[in-house]
Structure 1
C-alpha cells in the first residue's frame, strides 16, 4: 500500500499538533495562537495545517496561509512539504521559522516560486522569562483606543523600514490600520508619547499560553541614540510577563546590532535563529 506522508490535519489530530507546538513554543507561536482561537478546521481560519506523517505519528507540521511556517520540520519533512507546495501557486507573502528549515524549504521552492524580494538567512531568536535588571521607563504604557490615529503613522514607518514596502500600497492601509486597532483594543500595543507624537512603540503580536512574541519595536529616528530603547523595552517586558505570558520572545535581523544590544541589556538570551523569505 502506498503511504502518502503529507496530509491536511483536522481536529482529530489536535493532540499531535499541540505536541509539536509545545516542543518548540517559540517557532510555533504563530500557529499555536491560531489553533487556540480557531482549532484545526481550516475554513474557520485563514490557512491550513499539513502534517508530515511517514508512519503512524505526525512528526512535523507546516502552516500554509498568508505566511508559510514550518515547525519541527526535519529534512525529510521539508522535502515532502516542498513537493506538495511546489505543485501549487504561491499564496504566502513570506516563509518564516527556524532558519535551517526555512532555508532548506526555500532552496527547494525557489525554482517555482522565485524570485524572492528579500531573504534574511539569520535572525537571532531571543527569549526571556524574568524581569530585566535595568529600570523600566514609566512613560511607556498601553496605547488607548482613542490614540490609534497617533500610533498609526509610527506603525506605518516601522513596517516600511522593516519590511521594505509600505503597508499602504495595496488597500490604502485599511487592513493594516484594522490590525493596529485590534492590537490596541486587545491591550497589546505599547508606546511612549511626547505630546501627540509616538517616539517608541512595540506590540505583542502573538500570545500563547507559553510565550508572547514582541514585534514592531521602533524608535522615532529623531530620538535614536539617546538610550531610550532599553528602558522602554524593559517596561514592555515587565508588563508582558506580569499580565500576559510566562516568557517574552522576539527575533531580530542579525545586522541590527544596536537592537541586539538593547535586548541583551533587557536579559534576553539566545533560543536559536529564524530565517525569513519575503515576497
Structure 2
C-alpha cells in the first residue's frame, strides 16, 4: 500500500525540489526562478514550499506565498495540498498554475475560500524558441534605464489595474510593487519604447532560469492601440530574451484577449498548454 504524506520543505530539500520543478521547466519557470534565488527558506522565498511524498519520494510541490501554485500535482497531491491550505486559511491573493490541477484545487477550496473575485479558467500558455520570422523587431524598444523608474511606473500601474482589476498601489501605497518594478529594471529585464518621456509599449521578463523565461506585463498605451505597435515590440523583447536570458520563452494570456493572442501568434508563439487563475 502506498504511504503518502505532506510537509513543509526545508533548505535541505532543495535538490529534490529542483528535480520536481525541472520536470516542466517552462510551466514551472516562475517558481523555479524564485527557488533558485532564495532556496527553500520561507522568509527568503516569500512563502512556504509544501511537498507531497509517495513512499518517501518527493513527487509534487505547492508554493504557498502571495500565490498558491500547484506543481506537478496529481489528484492525490492536490487533495493533500487543499487540506493543508484549508487548515491554514487563505493568505494568498490568487491561485495560479496549470489548468487541470488548479481547477481541481479550487473545487476543493471554493466551499471554504470562495467566492473568488474572478476565475480565469483558460489562459493559453504560449511558447517559442526562435526569433520572430515575419515581424521586424521595433528598434525603439530597449532596456529601461535605472533612472527611468518614474517614467515606467504609470504604465506598470495602468497595465496591472487593467489586467488584474485592482490597483497595485492599494494597501501599502504601492511600495512593494514599485520595488518589484525597480528590481526588474535593475536586472535588465524591463523593456519599453519611450517617446517624449512617455511609455508607448512595455513588457518585462518576469521569471528567468537557464532553461526558460516568461514574458509578462505586456502593455500598449491605449492611445496607440490598433497602430501595429505590439507585434514589433514583442519581437524586440523576444530577441532580447533569446539572446540574453534563456533558450525558450513563454507567456500566458487570457483566452478572451483575442488581439493579444493574435499578436503573439504573429511573432511566433504557439499554444502548448493552459493555465488557470483564481483571483481574490
Aligned to 1:50: 50
**After superposition, where does 1:90-129 map in structure 2 within 5 Å?**
90-129=90-129
1:144 match: 145
Structure 1 segment 145-184 matched on structure 2, within 5 A? 145-184=146-185
Question: RMSD across aligned C-alpha pairs, in angstroms?
Answer: 1.4
How much does 1:66 deviate? 0.7
The aligned counterpart of 1:36 is 36
Report deviation, 1:7: 1.2
Task: Give me the whole-angstrom Cα distance separating, in 1, the residues matched to 2:169 and 2:208.
Answer: 26
Counting only pairs closer than 5 Å after superposition, residues 73-84 of structure 1 correspond to structure 2 as 73-84=73-84
Deviation track 1:149-189 (CA, whole Å, cap 9, x = no partner) reads: 11110111000000000111212222211111111111111
Q: Distance in 2 between matches of 1:135 and 1:15?
A: 41
Query: For 1:88-126, what per-residue CA distance to the aligned partner results, in whole angstroms no more than 9, with x for missing partners?
Result: 111111111000111110100011111111100000001
Moved over 6 A (4+): none
Given that 2:4 and 2:56 are in contact with CA atoms closer than 8 Å, whether structure 1 keeps it comes out as no
Partners in 2 of 1:251 and 1:170 — Cα distance?
A: 27
Q: Partners in 1 of 2:222 and 2:50 — Cα distance?
A: 42
Equivalent residue, structure 2, for 1:264 = 265
SS at match of 1:63: strand
Q: Is 1:131 equivalent to 2:131 in the alignment?
A: yes
Q: What's 2:63 paired with?
A: 63
Residue 215 of structure 2 is matched in structure 1 by 214
Indicate the residue corresponding to 2:248 in structure 1.
Answer: 247
Distance 2:38 2:186 in 1: 20
Gaps of 5+ in 1: none
2:197 aligns with: 196
Query: So what's the TM-score if we normalise by structure 1?
Result: 0.97
CA distance in 2, matches of 1:245, 1:146: 26
Q: Structure 2, unaligned stretches of length 5 or more?
A: none
Q: 2: CA distance between counterparts of 1:231 and 1:212?
A: 19
CA distance in 2, matches of 1:19, 1:121: 28
Query: Following TM superposition, by how much is the alpha carbon of 1:13 offset from its aligned partner in structure 2, in angstroms?
Result: 2.5
SS at match of 1:59: strand
Deviates more, 1:167-176 or 1:214-223: 167-176
Contact 1:24 1:71 in 2 (8 A): no
How many pairs does the alignment contain?
Answer: 279
Q: What is the rounded CA distance, in whole Å, between the counterparts of 1:56 and 1:169 in structure 2?
A: 43
| Distance in 2 of aligned mates of 1:4 and 1:85 | 17
With the length of structure 2 as denominator, give the TM-score of the two structures.
0.96
Do the aligned residues in 1 keep the contact of 2:49 with 2:63 (CA within 8 Å)? yes
| Equivalent position SS for 1:138 | coil
